[in-house]
């Protein structure tokens, strides 16, 4: 089995996809993964409008055709009528992973009270983990890394700490991280010795 992690990034925005403004979600995620991952990875990106059939098609294609082990979306998770990312994600899911959405809201609530309006979800489709992230670059990093105190110790773990082991369990490659950015958590029995 290949140890190359394939990541799909889907930025969902009517205005960015039509060129009204520049998408910031995909560049923020590319930069974050460049700092966070120490094992090999590559990514596929999509920039699409808030249309449920288009979102579903992009998620299915990234999971089933492109073979992405991890698919992250940004945008479209609020209560506005055009925010349909969670519906599209749930529509293509085999299993729901509610802990991811719960943790994302907990992290964001430390910064803004409106985080309670977020409807982000995490799901599994086949051998792919799909997570809905916030749209703002600062919020994306906070969600993935968690909250740290002034000494750099984690107050609230970020969601990415659980992603490598989840991907282990669904048959994906072994992911290693730069622990200064985010420490992957695995039970002792699942940790591979460093080469």
Q: Say which CATH number the domain at 73 has.
A: 3.40.980.10
Q: Report which of 27, 92, 31 is spatially closest to residue 59, judged by C-alpha positions.
A: 92
| 193: in domain | no
Residues of the chain with pLDDT under 50: 1
pLDDT value of position 176: 96
pLDDT at 21: 87
Q: 41-75, pLDDT tens digit by residue?
A: 999 999 999 999 999 999 999 999 999 999 999 99
Tell whether 49 is covered by a domain: yes
Helix (H) or strand (E) holding 74: strand 70-74
Q: Give domain status of residue 81, yes or no.
A: yes
Backbone angles phi, psi at 45, to 5 degrees: -125, 150
In a domain, 140, yes or no: yes
- The total number of structural domains in the chain stands at 1
| Residue 195 located in a structural domain | no
Q: pLDDT at position 151, please?
A: 81
The reply to whether 91 falls in a domain is yes
**The predicted structure's pLDDT at residue 80:** 94
């Amino acid at each position: 089995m290949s140890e190359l992690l394939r990541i799909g990034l889907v930025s969902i925005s009517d205005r960015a996809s039509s060129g009204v403004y520049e998408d910031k979600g995909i560049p923020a995620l590319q930069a974050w993964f460049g700092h966070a991952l120490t094992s090999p990875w590559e990514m596929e990106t999509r920039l699409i409008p808030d249309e449920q059939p288009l979102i579903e098609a992009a998620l299915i294609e990234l999971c089933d055709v492109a073979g992405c082990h991890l698919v992250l979306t940004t945008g479209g998770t609020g209560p506005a009528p055009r925010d349909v990312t969670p519906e599209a994600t749930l529509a293509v899911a085999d299993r729901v992973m509610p802990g991811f959405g719960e943790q994302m809201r907990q992290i964001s609530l430390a910064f803004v009270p409106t985080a309670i309006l977020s409807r982000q979800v995490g799901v599994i489709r086949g051998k792919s983990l799909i997570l809905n992230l916030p749209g703002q670059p600062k919020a994306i990093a906070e969600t993935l890394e968690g909250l740290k105190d002034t000494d750099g110790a984690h107050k609230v773990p970020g969601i990415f700490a659980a992603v490598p082991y989840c991907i282990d369990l669904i048959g994906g490659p072994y992911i290693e991280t730069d622990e200064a950015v985010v420490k992957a958590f695995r039970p002792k029995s699942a940790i591979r010795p460093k080469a």
